Amino acid sequence: MATEDPKALHCGFEIRSSIPVLRMLDEAKAKAFYLDYLGFEVDWEGRFNPTAPLYMQIHLGEAVIHLNGHAQEDAPISQVNIPVVGLDKYCQYLIAKGAGYPKPCVVDPRFLGRNTDMNIDDPFGNELVFCSQRTEGEEPSGVPAPRWAVVWRGRRAGWVAPPAFDKSGNCSGPWWPGEAAADFLAQVAAPPGEGVRVALGGIPAWVRSPPDESGIVAFWLHVNPRARELPGPQDAEPGAAPDTGRM
């Protein structure tokens, strides 16, 4: 995309997107991975002669990559960040293919209570980081504010909205399922029933039982016993956090 910096345009130049060049040590493996698995398409291919190594440009959406078949084993590996809208859906798309690659997952590498990155290595050691600025698993309509995300094993299990806190800092509230709700609730209901660790609005917590008949689920929060107040939620939106009371 061309820059809209008026100073640059006035000087007669435009800065456009950079294109990473990744080493490609096997043409067949590269095409199987990038085209058949990830869904990239070929823009063009180039060879110096019919038997020369392949150099090609591929794209997926707005992401453009050059694959260099001239690279040798000692060529450095690279990391490429690729923004994605609908990251969790793209992850499920890859899983559904049932390809012979490690199963991808969307994770929270910065411990922000938001799943933002899906890290995939290509057959030549290059790391592709498909990333999103927001948690995937968009909220269903009708979830009231303030709503707290429930993240379990790096996946969005659901939301609690609005949560009500007692004086000990524990809370409960109506439950709305997320994309990982079925697996999460099955784990919660499984014996011995000692509880399942989650992040509730970015705060470590335990849930020890599935939602009751009225759809209410209860959480026990992990907080520093010396702290006088609970930390504010990192993933509660929109609206301000409820009054958590004193410890």
Alpha-carbon span 104 to 96, nearest angstrom: 11
Find the range with the poorest average confidence among 23-27, 74-78, 107-111, 137-141.
137-141
Is the confidence at residue 129, as pLDDT, over 90? yes
Q: What is the pLDDT of residue 112?
A: 60
Q: Is 238 exposed, middle or buried (0-12, 13-18, 19+ CB in 10 A)?
A: exposed
Alpha-carbon span 65 to 192, nearest angstrom: 49
**Phi, psi for 42 (deg, rounded to 5):** -80, 130
| 196-225 confidence digits (pLDDT tens) | 888 887 788 888 788 888 888 888 876 654
Length of the chain (residues): 247
Q: What is the pLDDT of residue 119?
A: 95
Domains and CATH numbers, the chain: 6-131 (3.10.180.10), 147-237 (no CATH)
| 32-83 confidence digits (pLDDT tens) | 999 999 999 999 999 999 999 999 999 999 999 999 999 999 999 999 999 9
Residue 49, both tokens? 């002669």
Q: Is 161 exposed, middle or buried (0-12, 13-18, 19+ CB in 10 A)?
A: buried
Residue 231, both tokens? 């930390």
CB-CB neighbours of 41 under 10 Å: 11
